A and B are shown apart, each in its own frame.
Chain A
Amino acid sequence: MSSWHRNRRVLFGLIVVTTIAVACVAGPWLLSAPPAADPVRGSLLPPMTRVNVIETVEGSTLVARRCEVRDDVVILYGGREPLAIAADRIQRRSSHRYWLGTDLLGRDVLTALLRGGRVSLAVVASSLLLTLVVGVAAGLMAATGGAVVDGVLMRLVDALLAFPVLFLMILAATLVRPSVGVLVAMLGLTSWMGLARLVRGQVMALRARPFVLAARLAGTRRFGMWRRHYLPNIAGPVGQDAALRMGDLVVAEATLSFLGLGVPPTVPTWGSMVADGQRVLSDAWWLATLPGLAVVALVVGLALIADGLREELDRSLPHEGPSRVNEAPALR
């Protein structure tokens, strides 16, 4: 594990993931605030469009791709027909570039993407935490709790793994009203099984090692064993697995939101943005495409981290036979 931070794949993956995370968290503050939505002239503007922003004395905001000044009248083009405004009704004129275009209601896509990313990332991070807690606890208990506990837990894992995760989530979504908390619980509670298997296997292997045997003979209590011997020694594989699993969670969250079964529709996330965008696919390619690209970038970044970590772990650990296939990648 000494050189994981020098691994090129890990480094590149970290850069990608950190960039996305920082952009989502800090982006909305750092960017110049986009003009208020103008559903008439600002609707479905393609990426990179520069517009004139006109604020009237009445307080409404108008957006126009082309703007002509004639004597004391300003004519705005775009929409169905041009609109003329008396110059003395204009309070402020400025210009704004929509880097990623606008949606059907004339809202800035970049801002929505970053806001949606915040929600997606928060949901994914919390469900990953839940997965880690449940998975590691279940794995530890199975490995150290005796044959009965082990048998019960592992059969439960087998049964849960047999459910198509998406079906399980839809089952839950039909029975409870969707909210962010429910979504986190659903994602977390349906993705801990593979991790529990991994932890169990690792701890079982550790228990055969002399230093663990010595610690147990010295009378270390169970919790002490967990904390001092098992957890630190499984941190590497668990971290690698967590990176991969986080990618799966990103896709799972996006898929659920896409299907309308994730967070409530008032909260836009990448998945629901794609769903909205696909309704106007033939008029505005960017609406469905860009949020999906964000998902791909995040997942690929996480996969690079996981791949690189695995490479380093394989190098530092004794080899354990063919590549691990104990669980297929989740929902895609």
Chain B
Amino acid sequence: MQQVMFIVISAVTLISGALVVTTRSLFRSALWLVLAFFGIAGLFVLLNAEFLAVAQILIYVGAISILIIFAIMLSRGVMDPETRRFNDQWGVVAGFTAVLLVLLVAILTRVQWPLAAGAVPADAIQRLGADFVGPYVIPFEVASVLLVAAMIGAIIIAREREN
């Protein structure tokens, strides 16, 4: 049963991912991206990583796809029905995507992946929290610095554009 779910969810994710780059309307490709994000969340659930699944939906669907859609809107003329932005190179892109798919499958099936033994512990989220302030505290703090840096950078660029 789990195999079936895995195949279905992976198919959804991969197909919507391919549609992101080959769809003709920019807005629609953003929507396909949202579907791909949902698919990834489903994959996280299948891996028993429920916190990551909800975090994926919360951040990617809830925030980042909105950001991407807003960025699309910022490009001028996207809403003018006469010049609806069309993806003219979709043929080339589709071909390239197919080549990339074959390449990735070939590589991924040949690598010996180190598999962690045992099941996911029941208190996975507590361990995650403990690890944030324990062994991985430096990346944790650096993450906050990175976030603030991104925010400051974007504000500076936006302000410059206005002045």
Do A and B truly interact? no
